[in-house]
Amino acid sequence: MQTMIVVDVSIVTIALPSIQSDLDIHQSRLGWVINAYTIGFGGLLLLAGRLGDLIGRKTVFSAGVAAFTVASALSGSAWSQEFLIATRFIQGVGAGLAYAVAMSIVITLFTEPRERGRALGLVGFAQAAGASVGIVLGGVLSHAISWHWVFYVNVPIGIVASVLAVRLIPKDSGIGLRAGLDVIGAVLATAGLMLGAYAIVIIGDHGWNSPHALAGLVSLALLGGFILRQTTARVPLVPLGFLRNRALAGGNIIHILTTGSTVPFTIMIALYFQQVAGYSPLHAAFALMPLAIASAFTSLAVYPRLASRFDSRRMLAAGLTVVASGLLLAARLPADPLYTIDILPAITLVGAGSGIVMPAVIAASMAVRDLREAGLASGVAATSGMIGDTAGIAALTTLAAAHTAALLNDGLQPVPALNDGFHLAFGTAAALAAIAVAIAFLLLRRPDARNTPAPH
């Protein structure tokens, strides 16, 4: 389910032209097929994670899976743009509920280091390879069958996930709503995050100087009000001690920087394939396969072995260095590339590094001292990942487009101008990965007894 939730952010991308044609969607509204999902997804992550602690993680996860599955079926049968956008929003809400507690379920179920390493490797694969898997799957389904199946494919997987959740996830009643249901704080956090997600995605379409950018300022005001509320509430939604956890803060900052560099790269390298290298959409989808394969190998086979020998700080530093190396290679891709010589090394390095980084950053982001706060930590980690990839895509695509436009105005031909725009974006992503390495050494300490989670 974790994989499908991440996949669903990108699976629609390649199907958009077919959706636009069938439903007669105006170009200005086409982006909302993706944006509606992002806003619904991002707005509930923090609240859903805390609800997992209060009323039970299994309950929240199962509710999210059910909503995601039903909304996927409705999206696949959409007959109008309004209906599709509405069901995509509901799909995002369901995804947010399930995704917010998924990591806390893993952390509380698996306490033995080797088993936890294997489990986090699986979750890390969902994070690292989800975007590329989505692009490949979207290309195959939309071209071989129809765009409806980029949504219908979720239905059988959601049903299986629901059945397995009932049978395999232990029932937990939570600590009770009275232990931390701050209604005012919940409203401020949800409204702030949802408006923030809206601001990020709309700025990508209209620019930082548009009136829509005011939504970002309102979002910051709401989130500021939420933090202030937590200092005065009798029973805060987010306990103040949680906010002072240095390891957790460092893990989430690294999470933002990591997703802000790797997820935009996956989207933009697919655009590079089509706009610069001249690949067809389906060819571009399959050209990304080595990234997913490399990520699967390192997250599933390599990370579990390393997790029992090295701390998160060392694994993050090593994995991010590999990611940055791949991004720097991508920043030098020619306009007429040879796939095996120019492209393959870059995407393989990014995939291999991401397969180490994502489970390691999840482990760092879940560094709670009390497992009764695992759901909250999971929601915060999910929120940081959402902020990273959404803001990263908006910022890096805007940066590339602005640089390309400036070069075109200077008389450069379209293909070289586009290529230089991608170079700038990939180089900036490499810089973000390098900054994350420095933060890993500054904020993450060697593990000690004080950072070991309490027994469940």
Average pLDDT score over residue span 409-428 = 90
Are 154 and 188 contained in the same domain? no
Are 218 and 319 contained in the same domain? no
Average pLDDT score over residue span 273-289 = 82
Confidence of residue 453 (pLDDT cuts 50, 70, 90): very low
Are 41 and 139 contained in the same domain? yes
**Residue bearing the bigger pLDDT, 314 or 325:** 325
Output the domain CATH number for residue 132. 1.20.1250.20
28: exposed, middle or buried (C-beta count within 10 Å: 0-12, 13-18, 19+)?
exposed
In this predicted structure, the answer to whether residue 182 has a pLDDT above a threshold of 50 is yes
The predicted pLDDT at position 305 comes to: 81
Is 166 domain-assigned? yes
Helices 344-365 and 113-144 meet at what angle, rounded to 10? 130
Confidence of residue 456 (pLDDT cuts 50, 70, 90): very low
In this predicted structure, the answer to whether residue 167 has a pLDDT above a threshold of 80 is yes
The predicted pLDDT at position 14 comes to: 67
Are 201 and 277 contained in the same domain? no
Are 176 and 188 contained in the same domain? no
Is 159 domain-assigned? yes
The predicted pLDDT at position 61 comes to: 92
Confidence of residue 4 (pLDDT cuts 50, 70, 90): confident
Predicted confidence (pLDDT) per residue in 38-58, tens digit: 788 877 777 888 787 778 888
Q: How far apart are CA 360 and CA 117, in angstroms?
A: 9
In this predicted structure, the answer to whether residue 139 has a pLDDT above a threshold of 60 is yes
Nearest alpha-carbon partner for 321 in 442, 433, 423, 439: 433
The predicted pLDDT at position 452 comes to: 43
Is 266 domain-assigned? yes
Share of the chain above pLDDT 70, in %: 83
Confidence of residue 448 (pLDDT cuts 50, 70, 90): very low
The predicted pLDDT at position 208 comes to: 60
Average pLDDT score over residue span 170-191 = 74
The predicted pLDDT at position 234 comes to: 75
Are 310 and 209 contained in the same domain? no
The predicted pLDDT at position 214 comes to: 76
The predicted pLDDT at position 285 comes to: 75
The overall average pLDDT reported for the chain is: 80
Confidence of residue 315 (pLDDT cuts 50, 70, 90): confident
Are 247 and 275 contained in the same domain? yes
**Total domain count, the chain:** 2
Out of 206, 236, 266, a domain closes at: 236
Are 122 and 213 contained in the same domain? no
The predicted pLDDT at position 449 comes to: 38
Is 456 domain-assigned? no
The predicted pLDDT at position 275 comes to: 85
In this predicted structure, the answer to whether residue 170 has a pLDDT above a threshold of 50 is yes
Is 217 domain-assigned? yes
Is 12 domain-assigned? yes
The predicted pLDDT at position 226 comes to: 82
Can you give the residue range of the structural domain that contains 217? 182-236
Least confident of 89-98, 291-300, 389-398: 389-398
Are 124 and 38 contained in the same domain? yes
Are 149 and 255 contained in the same domain? yes
Is 295 domain-assigned? yes
The predicted pLDDT at position 454 comes to: 43
Predicted confidence (pLDDT) per residue in 205-230, tens digit: 665 666 666 777 888 888 888 888 87
Are 220 and 309 contained in the same domain? no
Q: How many CB atoms lie within 10 A of CB 77?
A: 13
Least confident of 141-150, 174-183, 248-257: 174-183
The predicted pLDDT at position 131 comes to: 63
Confidence of residue 63 (pLDDT cuts 50, 70, 90): very high
Are 306 and 382 contained in the same domain? yes
Task: Name all contacts of 414-419 with Cβ < 8 Å and 24+ positions apart.
Answer: 415/275, 415/276, 415/335, 416/335, 418/272, 418/275, 418/276, 419/272, 419/276, 419/333, 419/334, 419/335
Is 254 domain-assigned? yes
